[in-house]
Amino acid sequence: MKKILLTSFAFTGITLLVWLFGATSCFRNTYNVLYERIDSRLYRYEEDTYHNLIREDTGLAAYATVPREHLLLSGHLFMHLFLTQAHTGWNNLGTRAWAYKPGPAVYHHQERIKEVRIITLHDYNQSYPAGSDMAPICSFYAPDNSGQWVDRAGLYEKINTIQEQRMELLNFIDARLMESPQNAANEQQFVIQVYTDKGEMLSDTTLPVFIQ
């Protein structure tokens, strides 16, 4: 009886020890991230009291009419994620105890976004004829979901933070226009372009809409 009790205590102690090691260790998957493509769409959106964007599930249909205040130009970034290492904690038990406490994934951005342009395909107003970059009159929704609207410089700052901290992915570049078109009867269409530090450009064209 004594032996049985001692044996069971020993097992309990070992299990506790393994659990403690597991709880203090961290299992992390590390991914290398490359952008695959950008998908540009226009959405009708609202903003709630917490500054969260509430967009319609599907983008605007071609030649839909939308008030400028509710028009969201959205570039959805698709990515390739390559699992490169499964990080463990400071000891072996960490790899076995990962199920107890999986750590957040780490994303190594293998290329950086260095520039974002929103090109209009039609004359927007006198200052922005067809072919010009509309980004100076755009306000960008902070990609860190902080609920802030920032200018292009602020957007770059947020993007750099995301890429350096390696804890998040950059999924969307959302923008709204701060000026109205000169003629609401003219259709408007945009190209969202993203330039990477590797010298490549990802771009996609939205459907045409009428902006009031």
Q: Which residues bind another protein (CB under 8 A)?
A: 32, 34-37, 80, 82-90, 92, 94-95, 108, 110-111, 198-202
Q: Which is nearer to another protein, 193 or 206 (CB)?
A: 193
> Min. distance of Cβ 196 from another protein in angstroms?
9
User: Could you give the C-alpha distances from 156 to 70, 106, 114, 195, in angstroms and in order?
Assistant: 24, 21, 7, 12
How far, in Å, CA of 106 to CA of 86, rounded?
Answer: 10
Q: Which of 46, 40, 48, 49 is nearest to 66 (CA)?
A: 46
> Min. distance of Cβ 128 from another protein in angstroms?
20
> Min. distance of Cβ 2 from another protein in angstroms?
34
Q: Which is nearer to another protein, 100 or 210 (CB)?
A: 100
Q: Which is nearer to another protein, 202 or 211 (CB)?
A: 202
> Min. distance of Cβ 115 from another protein in angstroms?
13
Q: Which is nearer to another protein, 9 or 90 (CB)?
A: 90
